[in-house]
Amino acid sequence: MYSVILATASRYLLILLLMFSVFLLLRGHNEPGGGFTGGLVAAAAYALYFIANGIDAARTIVRFDPLRIMAAGLLIAIASTFPSLVAGNPFMTGVWINTGIPLIGKVGSPLLFDLGVYFLVLGIALTIIFSLAEEDRL
């Protein structure tokens, strides 16, 4: 069923929800949020777009193969552990750099790990949603 209102709204909602998901990702360090929730919200944004515009439109707008997104997320998460190895600390110890820039403050490897989780969750959720959607078509 095609709804003009939902289709039009979903275009704007997609951007808003994606921004919200990034907000959740960044907020996650000290407050509720983080890579997992952020990734789920981002996946929900695409799911809404798919419900409004159909699976083909959704696949075009995601551009990457969801499995690739998932693998990229895992790679980022693994990469986030390398600073601790270079610094000679126990595995997965957080490494922090103080940028001194107001608002940004300290940036560290846990953020990178969270980013990895974000893409991992996004990739998995999209893989599940898309394969269910395509099964429906068969």
Partner 1 sequence: MSRIIMLPILLPLCTAVVMIFFRRLVVLHRFLNVAGTALMLGVSLVMLGNVQSGGILSLQIGGWQAPFGISLVADMLSSIMVVATALIGFTTALYSLGTIDKDKEHFFYHPLLQLLLMGINGAFLTGDIFNLYVWFEVMLISSFVLLVLGGKPEQLEGAMKYVTLNLLSSSIFLAAVGILYGIAGTLNMADLAVRIPMLGHKDLLSVVAVLFMITFGIKAAIFPLFFWLPASYHTPPVAVSAIFAGLLTKVGVYAIMRMFTTVLIHEEAALIHQLLLVLSAFTMVVGVLGAVAQYDMRKLLSFHIISQIGYMIFALAIQSPLAIAGALFYIVHNIVAKTNLFYISGLVNRLKGSWDLRRIGGVYRFYPMLGVLFLVPALGLAGIPPLSGFWAKFVVIKAGIDSEHYLLVGIALFVSMLTLYSMIKIWNEAFWKDDPRGEGSVEDEGYLLISSMKKVAMVVPIVILGSVTVVFGFWFEPFFVIVQSAAVELLDQGNYIQAVLGERP
Instruction: Give the interface size with partner 1 as a residue count (CB under 8 A).
Output: 17
Q: Which stretch binds partner 1 (CB under 8 A): 1-9, 38-46, 48-56, 71-79?
A: 71-79
Q: Does 70 bind partner 1 (CB under 8 A)?
A: yes
Assess contact for 52 and 3: CB atoms under 8 A: yes
Helix (H) or strand (E) holding 107: strand 106-108
Per-residue buried b or exposed e for 54-77, using 16+ beta carbons within 10 Å of the residue's own CB: ebeebbeebeeebeebbebbeebb
- Compare residues 54 and 94 and give the one whose CB is closer to partner 1: 94
Cβ–Cβ < 8 Å for 34, 28: yes
Among 60, 63, 91, 100, binds partner 1 (CB under 8 A): 91
* CB 68 within 8 Å of CB 123: yes
Per rule CB under 8 A, is residue 127 in the interface with partner 1?
A: no
Nearer to partner 1, 17 or 73 (CB): 73
Question: Given the rule CB under 8 A, which residues bind partner 1?
Answer: 67-68, 70-72, 74-75, 78, 81, 84-85, 89-94
